Each structure stands twice: as C-alpha cells, then as structure tokens.
Amino acid sequence: MKVVIPVAGIGSRLRPHTHTQPKTLVPVAGNTILGHIIDRLVEAGVHEFVFIIGYLGEKVENYVRRQYPDLQATFVVQEPREGIAHALWLARDQFRHEPDGVLILLGDTIVDVDLRALIATPGNVLAVKEVKTPALFGIVENGPRGLVTKVVEKPRIPKSNFALVGLYKIANADWLASALERIVEQGKRTHGEFQLTDALMLMIEDGAEMVAAPVDNWFDCGRKSSLLEANARLLNRPEFLRRRDYSDFPDTIIIPPVSIGRDCQIAGSIIGPNVAIGDHTIVQNVILSESIIGSYSELRSAVMHDCIVGSDALFKGTKHSLNIGDNTEIDYS
C-alpha cells in the first residue's frame, strides 16, 4: 500500500523552531517527528511514499533522501497551501490508481496503533481518539452497525467527542480522488481551507462505508506542550529505559529515560527524566528534565524544565558565590 504524507505546513504554533526548519523535522525522542513516522510505516511493510512538501520543502526532501536512501519516495509541491484536501488533490494522480487503496498520515502526527492491523482491515478506516475538547478537531459521528455517518471539521456544537487523529486508510483511492476534485472544482471551503473531512463526507453521502478505529495514543506535535508529551511517552519505551554506560560524563547523574546523541560533552549535571539531547551538544553544571535539546547546542549553569532548545543554540545561566549570615532570606524567583 502507498502512503501519502502531507508535510507542507508552516508550523506557526511551534515558532521560533519552525523559522529555520519545517515542523516535521523538529527533534523528538532521539529522532525527528518525520523519522518516527517513516520508521513505523517501514516496520509495517510500507515502502512507497508520497510526500507533499511546501514550506522549506527542500529540507524535507534532502532529509528523506539522505536518511532513507532505499525508500521509494515521490515529492509533490503544494503552493499555495490551501488545506489538507488541496494537498491531496495536487497529489491525486500519485495514488488514485492504487489497487490496494491509499494510506494517509499527517506529517506532524505520531500515532500509537498497530499499523499492520489497520492496513489489513477491509474497507475504509478512520483512526480516532476520544478528546475533551471536540470543537477543536475534525469529529466523527457513528451510526448503526458501527459505521461512520458524519465527519465534520471543528463543529461549533459537537455531537461526538471522537476526533480524527490524522490517519486514514481509504480502500478505493479513485473514489477519494474524485471527491477531492469535486470540492476543489466547487470551491467548497470550510474555515477558509479545503478540508479532507468534506471530501470524506462526500464519499459517505455517495454510499461509501467507513469505520472508526480508536488508537491508544495520539500526539499532534504541532505545539510545544504536545511535543514534550510525545517526547516523554516515546522515551518511556523499553529501548530508552535499559541501563546504559554513562561513565564518559563525569560527576553527572542520569535519570532514565533519556536519549543522548553522539559525541556529547556532559559534566557536573543531573539529566532526566524524559530528556532528549541531540548530537555534539555541551551540557555543563545543568539540572535538566522534561526537555528536548537540539544538536550542536551548549547549556551552562542552569536549571531547566519543560524546555525546547533548538540546534546550534547557546544558553548560559548565572553563578553565585555567597557568604550568607544567620536569619537571611534570598529569593531569586
């Protein structure tokens, strides 16, 4: 089965990190967001990829070709960027004749689900997760026999709290391509963009049967809080919890789970839990937890929690030499 991954977005909610790189290449748990996505798809037996690129798209293409040279990858440029359905409409000729259908996975979404089982499920499958604020998401409504009766983008009055998580398996790819053509030709926009939910709704109205498949975990990595949550959840997998030799880091305490890149210099620090540090980074006299630190960065004399630090960045805190007498109170907060 061929997979289509839209990665054209600007990623404004992750600024300033996305000023210099696309959000799908932001690091998380020892990899990039896109790297985690590709690795899981390859493990599930998927080898044909279509990437829809736009903002800083050459960086995405260079990354894929460098890190995954054996991947069968095609790149489609979305310019201007007018929504997910518009992106898929531009790429429709790359998937509409696929006999086994098409898998669509948004490029800023990490989903915990058995991809092999989902791909093997007959018919059309929409991955969903129960949420507390359904008005912020595309929502699925179920009817008799467990079939989806309605999909709607960010409804004002939600009638369901099952959100679409950005993973779709469409059995009849040509049917989807035709629905995308209809909404683009008709200029049908929702919230100012061409929405995939509208194309799926056209298919349902024309008789397509779709089922909703709940997922275990879903991380929309487009904002700081969810990116740090994804980092922590991914780091708590067995490969990061195993004991490792950190003797190269003098006077340092490592509290798993952590991911530390190649050729890092760490001294006099407490690292962890839930910390991912990129390659060639210097950390000295730092207490660091629940954070993501990019490659070629430098941190000195700081206490840091819930931080995202980009690559090639420098942060130096302050040092104090104190001679404090009785009944003294000093508050730096």
Q: What is the mean pLDDT of each run of 10 residues along the chain (333 residues)?
A: 92 80 88 93 95 93 95 94 95 94 93 91 94 90 87 91 95 96 94 94 95 87 85 84 81 93 94 94 95 93 91 84 72 69
> Quick one: pLDDT at residue 78?
93
Bridge partners (DSSP) listed for residue 254: 271
- Burial class from Cβ neighbours inside 10 Å (0-12, 13-18, 19+) for residue 79 reads exposed
Amino acid in the structure at residue 303 = V
Of 179, 163, 62, 54, nearest to 107 by C-alpha is 54
Q: In 3-state terms, what secondary structure has residue 321? A: coil
> Quick one: pLDDT at residue 327?
65
Residue 213 phi/psi, 5° resolution? -120, 110
Burial per residue of 33-68, b for 16 or more beta-carbon CB atoms within 10 angstroms, e otherwise: bbbbbbebbeebebebbbbbbbbbbeebbebbeeeb
Of 118, 280, 104, nearest to 176 by C-alpha is 104
Write out the H or E segment, with its range, that includes residue 67.
helix 57-67
d(C-alpha 5, C-alpha 23), whole Å: 13
Of 286, 278, 289, 284, nearest to 311 by C-alpha is 278
Contact 127, 215 (CB under 8 A): yes
> Quick one: pLDDT at residue 19?
83
Write out the H or E segment, with its range, that includes residue 73.
strand 72-77
d(C-alpha 256, C-alpha 266), whole Å: 15
Distances (CA, A) of 293 to 17, 222, 248, 283: 12, 17, 19, 10
> Quick one: pLDDT at residue 333?
65
Bridge partners (DSSP) listed for residue 316: 300
Contact 270, 287 (CB under 8 A): yes
Write out the H or E segment, with its range, that includes residue 242.
none
- Burial class from Cβ neighbours inside 10 Å (0-12, 13-18, 19+) for residue 213 reads middle
